[in-house]
Chain A
Amino acid sequence: DAKTTQPTSMDCAEGRAANLPCNHSTISGNEYVYWYRQIHSQGPQYIIHGLKNNETNEMASLIITEDRKSSTLILPHATLRDTAVYYCIVRDFISSGSARQLTFGSGTQLTVLP
């Protein structure tokens, strides 16, 4: 799996967009970018993933640069409940016959301020 680099922490005002960057300069062509978050002591939560096109779902948007060496997770209107550690991971798409544990790095602690 390609290595990822994320800022240790970020603050965001409630109601504003939270933009969380991730660098993955060694990503290979068949690797996807996945984002998870974990609110303190709760189960990790899958957010979104993408290969090279920008993706949007009900939780967030994922913007991947054209060279795929970095990406940004966007929470369009952050709320206090979005305070969590956000993890960016890069992995190839799991084939039908294999399973590997999810490995989270240090992630970014996002604090949404009232």
Chain B
Amino acid sequence: DADVTQTPRNRITKTGKRIMLECSQTKGHDRMYWYRQDPGLGLRLIYYSFDVKDINKGEISDGYSVSRQAQAKFSLSLESAIPNQTALYFCATSDFGHGNEQYFGPGTRLTVT
């Protein structure tokens, strides 16, 4: 079984809709991250969390919110989706003190029409 899972894997939604992307991990890591990837722009960090009580904004947090429901679960919400949020979204985890060794989920391809 995969260590980092994401649901859904693909989603098409309409402008203005609320959508939630979920991430679960079985690696026992404290730290979790949400990235988006756009063609030609590489990975960009949206939010990250060091533990259940710690949430931090990344480079591009506007239009997104997150919830760390448990050590193993980190969800990303788009409160009112817009077309330029169409992207590939990745969740990642890392262990304490090993922030450069990140383990990624398979990704969610989100299309906002």
Residues of A within 8 A of B (CB): 32, 34, 41-46, 49, 89, 91, 93-96, 98-104
Dominant secondary structure at the B interface: strand
Within 8 Å by CB of A103, from B42, B48, B90, B99, lies: B42
Report which B residues bind A (CB closer than 8 A). Answer: 4, 31, 33, 35, 42-45, 48, 50, 56, 58-59, 88, 90, 92, 96-107, 109
Query: Out of B35, B56, B100, which one reaches A91, CB within 8 Å?
Result: B100
Most buried by B among A34, A49, A100, A102: A102
Once the chains bind, are A102 and B106 in contact (CB under 8 Å)?
no
**Contacting pair A41 B88 (CB below 8 A):** yes
Partner of A43, one of B45, B56, B59, B104: B104
A44 interface neighbour in B50, B59, B104, Cβ under 8 Å:
B104
Whether B100 contacts A101 by the Cβ 8 Å rule is no
A101-B44, A101-B59, A104-B43 known; 13 new pairs, CB 8 Å cut-off, are A32-B100, A41-B109, A43-B107, A44-B43, A44-B90, A46-B101, A46-B103, A49-B101, A89-B100, A94-B100, A96-B96, A102-B43, A103-B42
